[in-house]
Chain A
Amino acid sequence: MPTELLLDRPARLRDLRARVQVRALPTALALLLVAWLLIFIAVPVVMVLARSLAAKDGGITLSHFATFFGKAYFLRSLTNTLILGTGVTALVMGLGFALAFLVTRGPRALRFPLRAATLAPLVAPPYLFGLALIIVGGRRGFIAQLLGIQIPIYGWPGVIIAQVLSFLPVAFLMIENVLQSLDPNLEDSACDLGAGELDLLRTIIVPLASPGLLKAALLTFGLAIADFGNPALLGGGLSFLAPDAYLMITGEWNAEMASVISVVLLVPSLAIFLAQHYWLKGKTYTTVSGAPAASEERSIGPWLGIALILPCLAYVAAIMASYGVIILGAFTKLVGIDNTLTLEHFVKDVGPDAIWTSVKVSLAAGLVSAVVGTGLAYLCMRTEIRLRGFLEFITLIGFALPGTVMGIGYLLAFNRPPLLITGTLAILVLNMIARFLAVSLEAGVSKLHQIDVSLEEASADLGAGVLTTFRRIVLPLMSSAFVAGFLFTFMQSMISLSAAIFLVAPGRLLASVYIFNRARDGDMGISCAMSVILIASVAVCLWGLSLLARRTGMRILAIRT
């Protein structure tokens, strides 16, 4: 695009907006959407906060918080959670960097297989590796039988391994992105001036990548501390905040303590997420010069090569073994004990029912999220309504909150009239939408950035009103953003657990919850079988999403549980 037109853009946008006056319909729509967002994102959070301070007689009290910080049990839970976050982040960053380095600068032959293997966990529910670990590890697991060594599964090793396997793909994507956008000339130049590989890493690559690396680390930390499935499955005797909050509600209906735990969990989680999104937004050293060229292979010396490739291979082996084990578990009677092949796990009634419910819920959530997100994006970017900052912020809150907190919040907010919707499918759908709307919104906004304002100017010039222009010109052009939002929300709704587990009811069971519960009860066959079906449906979606991203150059937000 000629530079002169670009420079004129803000002015022309202003003109367009002035022309598209604040009319009744767009305003009403906007207000409606804002109200909806407030009800379904802000209210649950407020309820949780309120409940944590609620005294029996209706006043405000800090006694619940006092209990939390007074009891050794809770303090240990808090410490465990923080230790978990730190440990997992360190491992993920190290491994993620090694993988990303090899994928962006290593031998070309390695790149695709390594990348595919690294991203494989994205289609799986985050506790899948917990499942696999249970089957594979332990005293009588495969590894013990084959190699004679025991991998302890319950407790720190299990939880950490499972989390590392689950969260590495997200960190990897961010690190890969950063490494990819480093100007290759900088590395060439450093080499030219005499830097060897370690010098290069130390003085150039890591310093320049550090904002991006920090972002990835913060995000991983946030994911690790908010994770419910893995600590619940593999914690053994250890306690962590998210499962504790869950236990408070489901075991005892102690909404006050559950809310306190939620608040304690919420604060670092939210702070970290907002920090890495807002504060680190502009701070990159990477070049903005369009699409990075396919990076040359770099010569990597033997020591560095081994140091990089061994952990990567171990990781890849673990991933493949996990998937293999799950498939095995799905098709054998009692994996590890009675290995006769069978399809019996696929035909129990409750399982397929749950999958079907998940599909319905996810489709609905995906559709609504895409429509609302796209519509909101348009309202923000092209009309006088100056709501973008606020809308982005509130949807981001919905995205950043630990699922556990959202789940509890929904339970508290919607189990009384006027909005008695607990026990219905609607609450599940609304919860998913609230959690993942941010992605549709961001996709829409970023796409609208790319669409030239003059197209809409022309439409207005020819006499079309706002809605007509939206429907006939903008929407078709934004379709890729629409589809991206849809697919992402669908995918995440299918596998997400931590909020849904509070909101299920008879006949309204989600596959992820069902699988998880059966796994906790020790019924591996059904868990594996349903997981296989779940993964298959999500894999198809992710493939579609990545195709889209590559074709249109859109950036998709990181993925949450």
Chain B
Amino acid sequence: MSNQTLLSLDSLTKRYGTVTAVEDVSAAIRRGELVSFVGPSGCGKTTLLRLIGGFIRPDAGRVVLDGGDITALPPNRRPTAMVFQNYALFPHLTVAQNIGYALAIRRRPRAEIARRVEVLLALVQLQELGQRLPAQLSGGQQQRVALARALSLQPKVLLLDEPLSNLDADLRVQMRAEIKRLQRELQQTVVFVTHDQEEAMSISDRIMVMYQGRILQVGTPSEIYERPATAFIARSVGAVNFLEGVLTNGTPGQATVTTSLGTLAIRSVAEGVGSGERVCLVVRPETIRLGPPDNGMGSNRVLGRIVSSMYTGALIRYSVGVGATRLTVDLYDPRHTAVFREGDQVTLILPEDPHLLPGTNAE
């Protein structure tokens, strides 16, 4: 995967009346990578995608592809291709005709179109379905046709607008893997838009978290998950506990944070937070261990009581009360770890290297 920037978004802004959909967004997308824009509805991700695709003109900023400014180009002249959320398959054309549409428009010879369509059908594993109409296909099959159609042009950038949100849960998981496989195989640059953070994390090379028209953080999935820049981001990529407290710097690599649960020792480095200032600890549920109640002595051990538990097969999610605070704790592989019931007293062992955020968890 080369590090060359293929697509560069420079200070893009788009307003609709008094509402700003995209505010001064800049990003660089590298050749061959799969980048996701993630965020809740209304955050501007689809607008951004459409700006890249050329369906909307920005009020300010530029879209630069492969060194050339394409901001003024209409969609039919941009080397981008989009897969729409509802697939937008032409209902009056067969699967083969759909896939071959772009080539037919360009007046390629029929034999060439047929060959290319064959290749693409094989790529998405729909070889026998060329003569079907879209209405005769299942959701997953339609999605693959849409994909094949977009790829027919060998676009420089493939744009996917929430392509999996109309599919059933297990199909979604399946298709995720398919898309990733294709992307790797073709070394295709992909911009992927979704509101599902788990989806984004599972396939992206990099994630760009968006909120209210701005990009909040850019990073690899693990960066986003383990080192979210804000509490909002932390919340949006998984369940999380926030512990507020005051930081006291000790020897390098050793600090304490005084929280409502007591004083915790941490090894994490807090950037930009000085001694005596407020911090917020980002503690993921799976990093807390539970044990039978002992007298809670020892570093980072507190006593608590199980308030509720939810068994979901691979894990049990407990809500544990420590004083007035509620902590979410996930215990994996319930067969081989101790299982607690509601009302049980437990000892919580908090991690020593939680991520630190300055300030409080208000966002």
Contacts and interface: CB of A to CB of B under 8 A. Distances in A.
Given A188-B75, A192-B75, A193-B153, A207 B81 contact: no
Given A192-B80, A193-B76, A194-B76, A199 B105 contact: yes
Contacts of A194: 76-77, 102, 105-106, 153
Contact of A186 (B55, B76, B90): B90
A102 B74 CA distance: 19
19 contacts: A186-B88, A188-B88, A189-B88, A191-B75, A192-B53, A192-B82, A193-B101, A193-B102, A193-B105, A193-B149, A193-B150, A194-B77, A194-B102, A194-B105, A194-B106, A194-B153, A195-B101, A208-B91, A296-B55
Contacts of A208: 90-92
B253 to A, nearest CB: 53
A207 B105 CA distance: 15
B105 A183 contact: no
Contacts of B77: 194
Contacts of B91: 208, 285
Contacts of A186: 88, 90
Contacts, number: 66
B84 interface: yes
B113 to A, nearest CB: 13
Contact of A183 (B53, B76, B81, B88): B88
Nearest 5 A/B pairs, CB to CB: A193-B102, A185-B88, A189-B88, A191-B75, A192-B75
Nearest to B85: A185
A204 B90 CA distance: 8
A191 B153 contact: no
A190 B84 contact: no
A61 interface: no
A196 B77 CA distance: 9
Given A207-B92, A285-B92, A189 B76 contact: no
Contact of B81 (A193, A196, A203, A289): A193
Nearest to A197: B76
B86 interface: yes
Nearest to B53: A192
A192 B81 contact: yes
A299 interface: yes
Nearest to B80: A192
A196 B92 contact: no
B221 to A, nearest CB: 28
Specify which of B76, B81, B150 lies most central, judged by the most chain A CB atoms within 10 Å of its CB.
B76
Given A194-B102, A195-B105, A208-B91, A183 B75 contact: no
B110 to A, nearest CB: 16
B115 to A, nearest CB: 18
Interface in A156-213: 183, 185-186, 188-196, 199, 203-204, 207-208
The dominant DSSP class at the A interface is helix
A189 B84 contact: yes
A203 B91 CA distance: 12
Contacts of B149: 193
B84 A195 contact: no
Interface string A128-152: 0000000000000000000000000
Nearest to B91: A285
Contacts of A193: 76, 81, 101-102, 105, 149-150, 152-153
Interface string B88-131: 10111000000001100110000000000000000000000000
Nearest to A187: B88
A53 to B, nearest CB: 46
Contacts of A285: 91-92
A203 B86 contact: no
A299 B74 contact: yes
Nearest to B104: A203
A166 to B, nearest CB: 33
- In the complex, which range does the number of interface residues on chain A fall in? 20 to 34
Contacts of B80: 192
Contacts of B90: 186, 189-190, 204, 208
B121 to A, nearest CB: 17
Contacts of A195: 76, 101, 105
Specify which of A192, A194, A204 lies most central, judged by the most chain B CB atoms within 10 Å of its CB.
A192
A285 B90 CA distance: 9
A192 B80 CA distance: 7
A257 to B, nearest CB: 47
A105 to B, nearest CB: 14
Interface string B51-93: 0011100000000000000000011110011101110101110
B101 A191 contact: no
A106 B78 CA distance: 23
A186 B101 CA distance: 12
Interface string B306-344: 000000000000000000000000000000000000000
Contacts of A199: 105
Contacts of A191: 55, 74-76
Contact of B105 (A203, A289, A299): A203
Nearest to A196: B76
Contacts of A203: 101, 105
Specify which of A186, A204, A207 lies most central, judged by the most chain B CB atoms within 10 Å of its CB.
A186
Contacts of A296: 55
Interface string A196-236: 10010001100110000000000000000000000000000
Given A193-B76, A208-B92, A188 B82 contact: yes
Contact of A188 (B84, B150, B152): B84
Specify which of A185, A190, A193, A299 lies most central, judged by the most chain B CB atoms within 10 Å of its CB.
A193
Specify which of A185, A189, A299 lies most central, judged by the most chain B CB atoms within 10 Å of its CB.
A189
A196 B88 CA distance: 17
Nearest to A183: B88
A192 B88 CA distance: 11
A189 B153 contact: no
Contacts of A299: 74
A452 B75 CA distance: 44
A186 B89 CA distance: 7
A131 to B, nearest CB: 44
A189 B82 contact: yes
A267 to B, nearest CB: 32
B277 to A, nearest CB: 48
A96 B218 CA distance: 51
Interface string A309-320: 000000000000
A230 B74 CA distance: 47
A199 B53 CA distance: 19
A190 B90 CA distance: 9
A441 B202 CA distance: 55
Nearest to B84: A185
Given A193-B153, A194-B102, A207-B92, A188 B81 contact: no
Contacts of B82: 188-189, 192
Interface string B35-56: 0000000000000000001110
A191 B84 CA distance: 13
A224 B264 CA distance: 87
Interface string A476-510: 00000000000000000000000000000000000
A189 B74 CA distance: 12
Given A191-B74, A194-B106, 19 more contacts: A183-B88, A185-B84, A186-B90, A188-B53, A188-B82, A191-B75, A192-B55, A192-B75, A192-B80, A193-B76, A193-B81, A193-B152, A193-B153, A194-B105, A195-B101, A196-B76, A199-B105, A204-B90, A208-B91
B96 to A, nearest CB: 14
Nearest to B86: A185
A191 B153 CA distance: 13
B302 to A, nearest CB: 43
Contacts of B81: 192-193
Contacts of B153: 193-194
A265 B54 CA distance: 53
Contacts of B74: 191, 299
B60 to A, nearest CB: 19
Interface string B120-153: 0000000000000000000000000000011011
